[in-house]
């Protein structure tokens, strides 16, 4: 009897190791390591880049819509002379099919200054598309945080292209550069 129990135990351990290594198949896709980069541009109430502004960053890994354990990361950084700050985090993401439907993981990021907050998400689908079977993806997104009081003329305008905002490169210049961002946030006065 003990011999049969020992054989069953060895078979169980072998089967579990084969499943975890992917040899016998698994309901989970291979993990993709995602380097998520959030670029932040901070503008003042006149639409000019703000240097030296403290930007708070937070990221969390999600399974479906639920936060994953202790995956929360928080950082602070200050904007450079061009009003920009950049945050980089890395997570392994998978897609779990064990429930009979896909439950992909994702990364939620939030950047904030006093008076404005904006978020950007990084999904398993984006990572899978970019990784092209390599198991590694680098995804960069941009957000703009605007201090209260600045009205962007093209914000929420259906006829405008909200993906680029003219931003003056300095206060003495009449020229402007377009800054592409995935999302924008501002507060009306």
Residue 164 lies in a domain: yes
For residue 165, pLDDT over 80 is answered with no
For residue 30, pLDDT over 80 is answered with yes
Specify whether the CB–CB gap between 21 and 142 falls below 8 A.
Answer: no
Residue 38 lies in a domain: yes
The pLDDT-based confidence of 54 (bands split at 50, 70, 90) is: very high
Q: How many domains does the chain have?
A: 1
**Could you give phi then psi for residue 62, rounded to 5 degrees?**
-120, 145
Residue 87 lies in a domain: yes
Residue 22 lies in a domain: no
For 62-90, what is each residue's pLDDT tens digit?
Answer: 988 888 888 999 999 999 999 999 999 99
For residue 11, pLDDT over 90 is answered with no
Residue 2 lies in a domain: no
Residue 127 lies in a domain: yes
For residue 176, pLDDT over 60 is answered with no
Residue 7 lies in a domain: no
Domain of residue 101, residue span: 27-185
Termini Cα distance of the chain: 79
Residue 109 lies in a domain: yes
Specify whether the CB–CB gap between 79 and 86 falls below 8 A.
Answer: no
């Amino acid at each position: 009897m003990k011999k049969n129990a020992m054989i069953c135990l060895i078979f169980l351990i072998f089967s579990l190791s084969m499943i975890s290594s992917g040899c016998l198949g698994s309901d989970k896709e291979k993990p993709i390591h995602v380097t998520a980069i959030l670029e932040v541009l901070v503008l003042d109430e006149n639409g000019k880049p703000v240097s030296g502004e403290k930007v708070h960053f937070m990221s969390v890994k999600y399974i479906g819509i639920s936060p994953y354990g202790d995956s929360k990361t928080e950082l602070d950084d200050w904007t450079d002379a061009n009003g920009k700050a950049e945050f980089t985090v890395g997570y392994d993401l998978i897609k779990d099919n064990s429930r009979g439907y896909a439950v992909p993981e994702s990364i939620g990021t939030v950047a904030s200054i006093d008076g404005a907050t904006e978020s950007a998400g990084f999904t398993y689908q984006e990572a899978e598309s970019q990784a092209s079977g390599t198991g590694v993806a680098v995804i960069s997104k941009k957000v703009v945080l605007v201090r209260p009081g600045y009205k962007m003329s093209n914000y929420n305008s259906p006829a405008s292209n909200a993906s680029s905002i003219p931003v003056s490169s300095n206060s003495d210049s009449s020229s402007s550069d377009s800054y592409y961002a995935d999302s924008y946030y501002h507060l009306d006065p």
